[in-house]
């Protein structure tokens, strides 16, 4: 059955009646879907995203958006088999589709979790600590992030129709910006089905998500400085879009993740017989054949010590010989087809270019016998392993990427030579190094990190948990310099900030505290008759402060603490030695004694809303406290974040310990969980 794909524009499904394109099965050449965008009003879609979708998202807090994204991931997982059923026609095996479908949902789950754990339940993010400006502390600075008031245009590649969409969508929605998604036409049936699942979940506010299944018409002509374009694909297409006159004139944010000539390096210490050698061979073969090599992170250049070149070649060939190419639905098939016949022709053409410099040592560029399918109808190709004995004499292998199951094996002389060869790709998304020698690993990092967005160091210790060379992770940046596009998709909260504007605020502590919903030093510290530990999470107000009575530290206290804890460090027990230390006036109180006495001053011991003290942050001891020092504490509500609605939230308290002269002895942030 041929599907008629629809666009989702201004919260309505829209089917183009003309200008349709066929989506062809990668397995048997049949038409699986038709798609087009004739009749869409692209300017209106952008206005709807900005004025309705993004406006609705900005009314939600970051935690509310993150919970929405978690719900979307759950909805996709509940209906994942619908997506698996459509995925076979793209040439993907079940394992390939798992990366795309469940990996995409997993990315949303992770982004949601990190946002709820690391970001405030607010609409403004602070970036770093406040900056003191005036000498008296009445004029300060604070960097903040706020959501852009535009739309995000996502242009995705054909290789991962679901994951490629969701890796962008999660950070965008959490950042408070509505998205217009444009998948590659090949595989668009998967993206359209996934969008349907998300729309039908009922979790998205009006205007938050729109879908274009075909060309984008004059969409770029209507972009503004508040919009973002996030692109995945070839360098040539990225350059064309990035240089669009409106993108340049309006300084539209452009995030690019481009295909690159990624490399994997076998360390000089990892010869035949070592665990790292076996891990390396397995990884190269896996990266060549997973998704039929159609991964932007796949290993295109395989670098090994010259002495191991023959051994590696034979070992990789032995693994590739076990690969079964064919219909992904057929039992026993381990590598499916390329995404389309067009892609097949492109990979073959690029492989022939590589063959002008390198020797083909495994596979056949033009011939393959797929299991359960007709070679003439599907986009099937054999894994292709090339060998190049003199990599410095070559150009094509360092410049041309065959976006399929193709890799070139090359020798290197020493670590510096390997680094130079890896860097000759002029920027990549991923580099992997297989070594058990930390000193060698450090040399690779120092020499190569500037050219590679992610470096995976794999050895026997981490291999079982390693996600491998080619797996981007939502908590780490996905991008790279140079040829890789210079972008950084994902990366935890970094990815969210792509869709926010950083601004520098200047003003009084009182004003800035009110804006960021966080107490800043110098802001008012109102106090009252009620101890803050008697107040629920909802009753506590930012800035509310308890000022304690003083307590004098005695020499007996210091000695008792030393013997009780076993901490008899000379600064606390030896007057002469302590006085000789330029930091101390003589014997001084332990830092942890100060913390303990501070807690004794501000804690209200009876059961109440405070459920748990679960940590200290940013602890600093600023002034020694010798015997006779009278310390007192200011305990201030610094910030609040709901952790489990209806049950409890996190309260961050600013704790300032001062002496009898009003000088600061210690500061830290106390974290508690408080009942609502």
First-residue to last-residue Cα distance in the chain:
55
Phi, psi (degrees; rounded to nearest 5) at 321: -65, -20
Nearest 5°: the CA angle 289, 317, 233 is: 30
Task: Report the distance separating Cα 459 and Cα 466, nearest Å.
Answer: 9
- How far from chain centre, in Å, is Cα 132? 32
Catalytic residue among 102, 192, 257, 488: 257
Angle in degrees, 0-180, between the axes of helices 80-87 and 188-200, rounded to the nearest 10? 170
Assigned token pair, 475: 């908590």
Task: Report the distance separating Cα 303 and Cα 274, nearest Å.
Answer: 17
Active site residue 353: no
Active site residue 257: yes
Contacts of 49 (CB under 8 A, 6+ apart): 150, 151, 152, 178, 179, 180, 207, 210
Contacts of 454 (CB under 8 A, 6+ apart): 429, 430, 431, 472, 476, 477, 478, 480
- Cα dihedral: 62, 65, 66, 70 (round 10): 170
158: left (phi over 0), alpha (psi -120 to 50) or beta: alpha
Q: Which residues of 61-91 are buried (b: 16+ CB within 10 A; e: fewer)?
A: bbbbbbbbbbbbbebbbebbebbbebbbbbb
Hey, which residues does 637 pair with through a beta bridge? 653
Instruction: Kindly tell me the burial class for residue 286, based on how many C-beta atoms sit within 10 Å of its own C-beta (0-12, 13-18, 19 or more).
Output: middle
Catalytic residue among 296, 357, 488, 489: 296
- For the chain, the C-alpha Rg in angstroms (whole number) is 30
- Cα dihedral: 41, 47, 51, 56 (round 10): 60
At 522, which helix (H) or strand (E)? none
Q: Which residues are catalytic?
A: 257, 296
């Amino acid at each position: 059955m041929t599907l008629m794909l629809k666009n989702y524009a201004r919260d309505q499904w829209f089917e183009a009646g003309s200008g349709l394109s066929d989506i062809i099965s990668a397995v048997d050449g049949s038409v699986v879907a038709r798609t087009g965008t004739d009749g869409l009003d692209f300017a209106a879609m952008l206005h709807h995203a900005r004025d309705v979708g993004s406006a609705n998202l900005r009314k939600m807090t970051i935690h509310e958006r993150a919970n929405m994204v978690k719900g979307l991931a759950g909805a996709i997982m509940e209906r994942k088999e619908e997506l698996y059923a459509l995925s076979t026609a793209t040439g993907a095996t079940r394992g390939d589709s798992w990366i795309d479908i469940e990996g995409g949902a997993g990315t949303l789950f992770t982004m949601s979790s990190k946002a709820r754990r690391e970001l405030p339940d607010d609409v403004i993010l602070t970036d770093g600590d406040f900056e003191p400006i005036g000498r008296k502390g009445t004029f300060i600075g604070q960097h903040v992030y706020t959501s852009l008031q535009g739309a995000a245009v996502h242009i995705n590649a054909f290789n991962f129709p679901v994951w490629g969409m969701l890796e962008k969508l999660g950070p965008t929605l959490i950042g408070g910006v509505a998205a217009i998604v444009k998948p590659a036409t090949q595989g668009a049936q998967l993206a359209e089905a996934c969008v349907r699942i998300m729309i039908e979940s009922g979790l998205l506010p009006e205007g938050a998500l729109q879908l274009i299944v075909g060309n984008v018409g004059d969409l770029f002509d209507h972009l503004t400085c508040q919009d973002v374009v996030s692109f995945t694909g070839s360098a040539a297409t990225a350059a064309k879009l990035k240089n669009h006159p409106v993108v340049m004139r309006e300084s539209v944010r452009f995030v690019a993740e481009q295909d690159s000539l990624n490399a994997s390096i076998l360390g000089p210490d990892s010869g035949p017989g070592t665990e790292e050698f076996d891990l390396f061979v397995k990884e190269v073969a896996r990266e060549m054949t997973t998704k039929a090599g159609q991964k932007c992170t796949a290993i295109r250049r395989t670098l090994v010590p010259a002495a191991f070149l023959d051994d590696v070649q034979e070992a990789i060939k032995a693994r590739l010989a076990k690969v079964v190419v064919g219909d992904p639905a057929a039992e026993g098939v381990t590598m499916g087809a390329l995404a389309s016949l067009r892609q097949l022709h492109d990979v073959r053409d690029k492989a022939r270019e590589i063959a002008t410099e390198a020797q083909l040592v495994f596979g056949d560029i033009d011939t393959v016998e797929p299991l359960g399918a007709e070679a003439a109808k599907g986009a099937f190709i054999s894994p292709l392993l090339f060998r190049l004995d003199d990599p410095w004499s070559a150009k094509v292998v360092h410049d041309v990427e065959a976006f399929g199951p193709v890799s070139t094996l090359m020798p290197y002389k020493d670590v510096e030579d390997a680094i130079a060869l890896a860097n000759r790709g002029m920027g990549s998304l991923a580099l992997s190094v297989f070594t058990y020698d930390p000193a060698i690993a450090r040399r690779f990092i120092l020499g190569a990190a500037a050219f590679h967005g992610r470096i995976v160091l794999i050895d026997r210790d981490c291999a079982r948990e390693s996600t491998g060379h080619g797996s981007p992770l939502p908590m780490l940046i996905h991008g790279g310099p140079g040829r890789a596009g210079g972008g950084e998709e994902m990366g935890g909260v970094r990815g969210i900030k792509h869709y926010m504007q950083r601004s520098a605020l200047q003003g009084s502590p009182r004003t800035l505290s009110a804006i960021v919903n966080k107490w800043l030093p110098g802001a008012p510290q109102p106090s009252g008759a009620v101890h803050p530990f008697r107040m629920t999470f909802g009753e506590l107000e930012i800035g509310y402060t308890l000022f304690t009575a003083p307590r004098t530290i005695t020499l007996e206290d210091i000695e008792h603490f030393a013997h009780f804890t076993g901490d008899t460090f000379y600064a606390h027990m030896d007057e002469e030695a302590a006085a000789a230390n330029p930091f101390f006036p003589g014997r001084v109180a332990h830092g942890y004694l100060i913390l303990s006495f501070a807690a004794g001053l501000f804690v209200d011991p009876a059961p109440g809303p405070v459920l748990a003290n679960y940590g200290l942050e940013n602890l600093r001891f600023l002034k020694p406290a010798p015997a006779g020092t009278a310390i007192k504490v200011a305990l201030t509500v610094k910030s609040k974040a709901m952790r489990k609605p209806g049950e409890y939230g996190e309260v961050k308290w600013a704790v300032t310990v001062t002496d009898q002269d009003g000088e600061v002895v210690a500061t830290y942030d106390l974290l508690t969980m408080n009942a609502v």
